Amino acid sequence: MVCTRNYNLSHSFGDIVSAHGNNSAICISDKCHSYIEIDEISTKIANWLDNQGVRCGDVIALPADKTFLIYSIVVSCLKLGVTYSFYESSFPIYRLEKQFNVLDPQLIIYSKDEIINNFREGFDLIELSQIEAELNRFSSKLNFNRNLVTDSSIAYVMFTSGSTGEPKGVAISHKNLINFIDWIRHDLGICVDDRITGLNKLFFDNSVFDIYASLFTGACLYPVNDNIINDSGMLFDYIRGNQITVWFSVPSLIVYHLTLAPKQSKSFRVLKKIIFGGEGFPKNSLLKLRNITDGNSKLLNVYGPTECTCICSLYEIRSTDFDDVNSDKIAPLGYINNNTDYIIVNNDGNRCGPGETGELYLGGSLVGRGYWNNIDLTNIQFIQNPFHSKYRDIYYKTGDLVCSNDDNIIEFISRSDYQIKHMGYRIELPEIENVLLTHSEISEACAVYKKTNDLGVISILYAGKIQEEYVRSYLVERIPSYMLPKNIVKLDSLPKNSNGKIDRRQLYEV
C-alpha cells in the first residue's frame, strides 16, 4: 500500500497560498496583508520557534491580541505542529495562574509587562516585540519537515469555565479543524470573495470560526477591536467601508446595536450572511433584524460546544419562525452538520423519539480530543457510544437538553446542569461559587442567573461574616469581568431542600 502524505493544517494553508497567494488574507487598521506575506512571516516565526527549542507537540500561550503578528504566530504553530492557546491579559492573575497551570506551556509569549511579571518564576517568557525584532534573522523557507505534524496533533487548547473552579482546556486537533473548514466551505458556502468580520475575542470559542473560515478558505479576515465594536457609528462605517460580506458574533452584540442605534443598525442589510451563535437569540430582536435585512441577508443560527470544534449545527431563519413572535422559544439549533453524528438520550438512557426531550450527545469528526491535562474529566464527558461496543465511537455529552422534530430539526430546551450562556460566554455557575468558598469567612454561596427583558443577570447569594462590597472585591481579583455578578445578597443562611442541599429554586425568588 502506498502511504499518502499526512494532510494537516500546514498543507491546507499551503494549498490556499498556492491558489490565492496574492489575495488579501488579513486587513487590520487599514493595512492588508496577502496570503504570501502571512505565509512568509509565519515560516520565519516557525523557524524562530524551532531555534528557541519549541518542537512539534509542545504548547505555547499567546496573548489574545488581534494583531497581524499574533495571527501569523497561530499559522506558524500549525506549521510546526505546536499547540497554541490564547489567554486574555486583562484577566485576573488568579485566573491566569490557574489557566497556565493546566496548560503547562513550554513558552508564554506576552505583550503586557505588568501582567506577566507575576509569572517570571516557573515559566519561560518571551516578549512579542523581541520576536518581531529577531524575525529578519530567520529564513522564510521551512527549516523543518512539516510532514512530521500529524492530523491528530493538537492545534489549539481553548479554555472555558469549569464547575470545580478550575478552567477547562479543550484540545482540538488538526483533523477536527480540517473537517470544520470543509463544512465551512461546502455547507456554509464561504469562498475566496468573502470578507469576514473578526468580532469575537480570541480567547472565546467563536473566534475559531473567524480564523479558520477566512485564512483556510482564501477569504479575508477583518479583525475588529473593542473601541470599534461597541460604537455603532464606527462599526457600521467599518462594515460598509470594507464591504464586509459575512458577520459572525453572539446574538448579544447584534441586540446591543439594534437597541442602542436603530438608525445605524439599518446597515446590517449590506451583509450577505449574518451568522450568530453562542447563545439563544431573543425572538423580538431577531424579528427586528429580519425586518431590517428584509431578505437581503441570510440569517444563520449556529450551535456547537467548544468541545466539538465551534459549530455543529446550522439553521437558516425562515419567515415561519415568527408565526408566534411572543413565544419564549428561541430559534432552533437546526440541522446537525453532515460530518457530525448525534444521539438524544432520555433520563432512562434510551434514545428519544421525535418531540421527546433528552441530552444531546455529539459524535463524529468534530469531537475534540478531550480536556487538556484532565483525563478523568475527559473520561466522564467523552464517552463510548452507549448503544454499541463494536468499535471505538466517542461521543461528547453536551449537557444540553434538546428535542428533534420529524424533520430532524433540533430545538434547545434547557441545560441539564448549572452552565449558562451570558453575553455568549459560557459560565459554570458553580465555578463562581467555588471561588467564593475559598474565602475563609464565607460558609455558603450560590450563584443564580435570571432573565428579564431578554437580559440575563448573575446574582450571588451567600452566608458569611464579610460584607457584600468585600465579596465583590474578592471576585474582581479572581474571575473575568464577564463572570462578575450584578447583585450580591447576604443572607443568614441559604435555604435547603429536603435533601439538605441548597434550594436554588427558592433562591431565584429571593
Q: What is the DSSP string of 143-190?
A: SS-GGGS-TTSEEEEEEE--TTSSPEEEEEEHHHHHHHHHHHHHTS--
- Please tell me the number of Cα atoms within 13 Å of 415 on its side-chain side: 13
- 423 is a contact residue toward another protein (CB under 8 A): yes
Q: What is the DSSP string of 458-496?
A: EEEEEEESS-HHHHHHHHHTTS-GGG--SEEEE-SS--B
One character per residue 254-283, x = contact with another protein (rule: CB under 8 A): -xx--xxxxxx-------------------
- 252 is a contact residue toward another protein (CB under 8 A): yes
Least distance from another protein to the Cβ atom of residue 482, Å: 8
Distance in angstroms (rounded) separating the CA atoms of residues 65 and 186 = 30
Pair 433, 446: CB distance under 8 Å: yes
Report how many residues bind another protein under the rule CB under 8 A. 28
3-state secondary structure of 10: helix
Distance in angstroms (rounded) separating the CA atoms of residues 451 and 10 = 44
Residue with smaller CB distance to another protein, 166 or 454: 454
Least distance from another protein to the Cβ atom of residue 443, Å: 22
- 230 is a contact residue toward another protein (CB under 8 A): yes
Residue with smaller CB distance to another protein, 472 or 504: 472
- 241 is a contact residue toward another protein (CB under 8 A): no
Say how far residue 105 (Cα) sits from the centre of its chain.
20
**Which residue in the block uniquely carries the three cell numbers 527549516?**
143
Burial of 4 (0-12, 13-18, 19+ CB in 10 A): exposed
- 510 is a contact residue toward another protein (CB under 8 A): no
Residue with smaller CB distance to another protein, 244 or 479: 479
Site for another protein in 478-507 (CB under 8 A): 481-482, 484, 486
Which of the ranges 138-146, 253-261, 326-334, 405-413 carries the binding residues for another protein, by CB under 8 A? 253-261
3-state secondary structure of 32: strand
Amino acid letter, residue 133: A
Least distance from another protein to the Cβ atom of residue 229, Å: 8
23's CB contacts (< 8 A; 6+ apart) are 34, 35, 192, 218, 220
Residue with smaller CB distance to another protein, 92 or 386: 92
Give alpha helix (H) positions in 317-467. 375-381, 429-436
Burial of 251 (0-12, 13-18, 19+ CB in 10 A): buried
Residue with smaller CB distance to another protein, 90 or 408: 90
Residue with smaller CB distance to another protein, 97 or 454: 454
- 441 is a contact residue toward another protein (CB under 8 A): no
Residue with smaller CB distance to another protein, 142 or 228: 228
Residue with smaller CB distance to another protein, 484 or 489: 484
Which of the ranges 76-84, 347-355, 426-434, 476-484 carries the binding residues for another protein, by CB under 8 A? 476-484
Distance in angstroms (rounded) separating the CA atoms of residues 50 and 58 = 11
Residue with smaller CB distance to another protein, 40 or 454: 454
Q: What's the grid cell of residue 336?
A: 446537525
Pairing relationship of beta strands 107-110 and 125-127 according to DSSP bridges: parallel
Question: Which residue in 375, 380, 476, 510 binds another protein (CB under 8 A)?
Answer: 476
Least distance from another protein to the Cβ atom of residue 470, Å: 9
Question: Which residue in 227, 319, 498, 499 binds another protein (CB under 8 A)?
Answer: 227
3-state secondary structure 294-327: CCCCEEEEEECCHHHCCCCEEEECCHHHHCCCCC
Site for another protein in 171-210 (CB under 8 A): none
Pair 2, 146: CB distance under 8 Å: no
- 355 is a contact residue toward another protein (CB under 8 A): no
Which of the ranges 114-122, 214-222, 442-450, 470-478 carries the binding residues for another protein, by CB under 8 A? 470-478
One character per residue 108-147, x = contact with another protein (rule: CB under 8 A): ----------------------------------------
Residues near another protein (CB under 8 A): 227, 229-234, 252-253, 255-256, 259-264, 423, 453, 455, 469, 472-473, 476, 481-482, 484, 486
